[in-house]
Amino acid sequence: MVGARSGKGKGRGRVGGGTEGSGGSSGGRAVPAVREARGERIADWADGRLGAYTLAKAQMRKVFPDHWSFMLGEICLYSFLVLILTGVYLTLFFEPSSAEVVYDGSYQPLNGIVMTRAYESALDISFDLRGGLLIRQLHHWAALVFVAGMIVHMMRVFFTGAFRKPREINWLFGWTLLMLGMITGLTGYSLPDDLLSGTGLRFAQGAILSIPVVGTYLAFGLFGGEFPGGEIIARLYPIHILLLPGIMLALIVAHLILVVYHKHTQYPGPGRTGRNVVGMPLLPVYMAKAGGFFFLVFGVLTLMAAVATVNPVWAYGPYRPDQVTTGAQPDWYLGFSEGLIRAMPGWEINLFGHTLALGVLIPFTLFPLVMLAIAVYPFVEAWITGDRREHHILDRPRNHPVRTGLGVAWLSMYVVALIGGGNDIIALRFRLSINAVTWFVRIGFFVVPVIAFIVTKRICLGLQRRDRDKVLHGLESGTIKRLPHGEYVEIHEPLSQARMFVLTQHEQPEPYDPGPRVDGNGVTRRVTTTERLRARLARAMYGTAARVAKPTPQEYRELQQHQELTGGDHPH
C-alpha cells in the first residue's frame, strides 16, 4: 500500500462503518429500519463524543513501512511499558525507608543482621511475595534491555541518516530519553540499599563532590548530611517512580506523535520517493503485528527474568559504608562512566587552598561531553552540508563513509570505557594484570576510535566499489566459459532493475566550496575562518577521498555495448 506524505486523511476504505457525519449529534435522526450491529452503535456513541471517525479515518489507514530495523523503537516502547507495569507492582511492596531493622525472614543466612527497611522489603519481595522475585527480575531485565534497545535504535537512526530534516527535534527527544533512561536506571538500582547499590551511591556522591565550588553543598544537600545520611533512598524513590518516568512518558508520547506527524522514513527502492510511504496500513496489519510483538518482547523478557538471575541483592548483604563488594559493577549502560573514572590517573591539584580532584572531575565531565557529541551531530552535519531539504528516504550507511565511521568510532569509545569499568573482572577472568587492562583503556580510549574510524571508512568505500562493480558487471555466477580463442571468462548475470535502482539512487553532492578568494576583477574576497573550516570538513566528508563515483549512464551503456559484442559476457 502506498500512502501520501502530504495531505491528511488519504486513507481509503470505510473506517468503523460510520455513515453519518462525524462529530454531529444524532438529533433529528430517523429510526433505522435495521438495527445496527453493537460495534457500530458503540462506534457511533464514541464518535458523537470524541469525533472518533475523523481521527480514525485520518490515522487508521496510515501506512507504516516494513523493515526489521523499525522494530527497534518498538522494543524500547514495549520494554518501557513492562517497566511501568512491573514497577507499579513493586511500589505496592517496596518501602523506601532507611529505618534500621533486624532481619528475621525466610532467607536464613541474613537472619539477625541489622539492615534498612528498604533492603528488608527488597528481600521480602524476593522471598516472601508471590511472584515477587520474578517481577523484580523482570523489572531489572526490562531496564537493561530498554537502554540497550535505545542505543541500538539510536544507531539505526544515526547510520541511516534518519535524523536529518525534519527529524532533528525527534532525535533530541530520543537523546533526552536515553539520558533520562540511564539516570532512572541508576536511581532504580540504588533503591534496594544492598551493598552494591550503596557502593554505586558512594561512587555518585564522590563524583558530585568533585564539582568545584558547589560540589560539597550539592552532596550534603542531596544526601541530607555526611554520606550515606538517612535521606537518600526516600529522596530517590519519588524521583524514580514518578518524576523521571512521568517526564519520559510525556517525551515518548511527543516522540511518537512526531513519528506519526513526519511519517516514517523508508529505505530506498523503486516507487519509494520523498513524497510517499510504501508499506502496510496501521489497521489491521500493523496493529496486529505491533500487538503480537509487544507480547513477544514481554515473553522474552519474562523468560530472561525466569532463567537468568540479575541483581541477587540477598547475596550482597545490606549496605555498610565500610564495606565494598568485590567486582562491584554498575548496570552495563553506566559502565562507561565507571570505566572513565577507573582509567583516569588519580590527579589532584590545589587551587587557592581548595583541592580539585581532577581524577574524578575530568572523567565526570567527559561522559556528558561524549554523549553531547552525538546529540548535536545532526546539526553539525547539516551545517557542513548546507543541505536544507527534507529527507524521507534513508541512506545506506556505506554511502556515507565518514558518518558511518564516526558512529562506529563513538561506539568503540563506549566499548573501551566499558572494558575499563570491568577492569577487575576482565583481569580476573582472563588472568591478566589489572594494570595492563587499565593501560589498555587509557591508550585505547584515544587510539581505538581512530582505528575504528579508518577501518569502517575503508570498508564502506570497499562496499561502494563492490556496488559499482555489481551495477556495471552484474553478479558473478560462478560459471566459467571458454571462448573460441581459448580465453576463460566468468558469466555475469545482470542485476534486476530494482536492485540496480537501489545501488545507484544515492546522491553524490559536491562538497561545499566558498568560491575563489580572488574574483574575476582581481578583487580579493574575504573568506572567513568558519567558511574555510566548513569547506574543509565538507571535503573530508564528501570529497573524492570519501566516495567511489557511482557509475554514470554513459559508462553503463558502453559496457552494455561491449557485452553485446562479446556475446553477453564480461571480460575481467
Residues that bind ligand HEM (CB under 6 A): 70, 72-74, 76-77, 80, 83-84, 87-88, 90-91, 94, 122, 125, 136, 139-140, 143, 146, 150, 153-154, 157, 162-163, 167, 170-171, 174-175, 177-178, 181, 184-185, 188-189, 191-192, 240-241, 245, 248, 252, 255, 259, 264-265, 311
CA angle 321, 324, 328 (to 5 degrees): 130
Nearer residue to ligand HEM within complex by CB, 252 or 502: 252
Nearer residue to ligand HEM within complex by CB, 264 or 396: 264
Nearer residue to ligand HEM within complex by CB, 63 or 150: 150
Smallest distance, ligand HEM to C-beta of residue 347, A: 32
What is the rounded CA–CA span in Å between residue 135 and residue 117? 19
What is the rounded CA–CA span in Å between residue 564 and residue 561? 5
What is the rounded CA–CA span in Å between residue 496 and residue 506? 17
Nearer residue to ligand HEM within complex by CB, 74 or 424: 74
Q: What are the cell numbers at 182?
A: 540511564
Nearer residue to ligand HEM within complex by CB, 142 or 503: 142
Smallest distance, ligand HEM to C-beta of residue 329, A: 13
Smallest distance, ligand HEM to C-beta of residue 450, A: 24
To the nearest 10 degrees (0 to 180), the angle between helices 401-421 and 132-159 is 150
Using Cβ positions, the residue closest to ligand HEM within the complex turns out to be 174
Helices (H), ranges, 386-422: 401-421
Smallest distance, ligand HEM to C-beta of residue 77, A: 4
Nearer residue to ligand HEM within complex by CB, 54 or 273: 273
Query: Whose CA is closest to 314, among 187, 202, 201, 193?
Result: 193
Query: Whose CA is closest to 103, among 125, 120, 118?
Result: 120
Nearer residue to ligand HEM within complex by CB, 157 or 201: 157
Nearer residue to ligand HEM within complex by CB, 189 or 445: 189
What is the rounded CA–CA span in Å between residue 294 and residue 75? 8
Of the CA atoms within 13 Å of residue 217, those in its CB half-sphere come to 3
What is the rounded CA–CA span in Å between residue 96 and residue 122? 10
Smallest distance, ligand HEM to C-beta of residue 368, A: 15
Q: Which residues on adjacent β-strands are paired with residue 354?
A: 351
Nearer residue to ligand HEM within complex by CB, 290 or 434: 290
Query: Whose CA is closest to 12, among 57, 65, 64, 66?
Result: 57
Smallest distance, ligand HEM to C-beta of residue 210, A: 25
Strand-strand pairing, 349-351 and 280-281: unpaired
CB atoms within 10 A of CB 30: 5
Smallest distance, ligand HEM to C-beta of residue 149, A: 7
H/E element, 276: strand 276-278
Smallest distance, ligand HEM to C-beta of residue 22, A: 28
Nearer residue to ligand HEM within complex by CB, 150 or 413: 150
Smallest distance, ligand HEM to C-beta of residue 160, A: 7
CB atoms within 10 A of CB 302: 18
Kindly give, in sequence order, each residue whose CB lies less than 8 Å from that of residue 369, ignoring residues fewer than 6 positions away.
none
Question: How many helices and strands, by DSSP H and E, does the chain display?
Answer: 20, 10
The owner of cell 569499568 is 421
Query: Whose CA is closest to 97, among 228, 237, 241, 220?
Result: 237
Smallest distance, ligand HEM to C-beta of residue 143, A: 4
